[in-house]
Amino acid sequence: MRTIIVLFVLLFASCNQSAIKKQLSGADSIVIHFNDPQTNTIKKTVATAENNAINRLSEFVDAKDSELYKCGYDGNMIFYAKGEKKMDISFQYTNDSCRHFIFDMNGELKASKMSNEAADFFKSLAEGKNQY
């Protein structure tokens, strides 16, 4: 009986998984590029294979939908699984009124709202503080 309950809970949880979580499931590494706002060239790159960081970043992206702002991007992050690119997500964290993530989901451009916690996390990484 206990096994049936556990299987039911796992099945229910997997059915309720969001599209972004499904897309990013299995990601085992991530590369984050921070852009210079004046030239839009990469000024800093951070890479990790730490599960805590990957999970935290995917949770940040898996947020409420946002409008498709046109206010530029501070960088992008690329999720990988076994060396293959799973998803490329651009982000804006420095403009308080325009914080968001933007990504392609099955051929459709989508955006999600960036929380203050996520913005603080990106700011910390951009400043060289690699704590997850």
**Is 91 within a domain?**
yes
**Is 132 within a domain?**
no
Q: What is the pTM of this model?
A: 0.81
> DSSP letter at 128?
T
Which residues span the domain enclosing 63? 2-126
User: What's the total number of domains in the chain?
Assistant: 1
90 bridge partner residues: 76, 102
Residue partners of 93: CB distance under 8 A and separation at least 6: 74, 99, 114, 118, 119, 122, 123
**Is 131 within a domain?**
no
pLDDT tens digits for the chain (132 residues)? 554 443 333 334 344 458 888 889 999 999 999 998 788 799 999 999 999 999 999 999 999 999 888 888 999 999 999 999 999 999 999 999 999 999 999 899 999 999 999 999 999 999 988 665
**Is 87 within a domain?**
yes
How far is it, in rounded angstroms, from Cα 26 to Cα 106?
Answer: 17
113 Rama class: left (phi>0) / alpha (psi -120 to 50) / beta: beta
Tokens 């984050």 belong to residue:
32
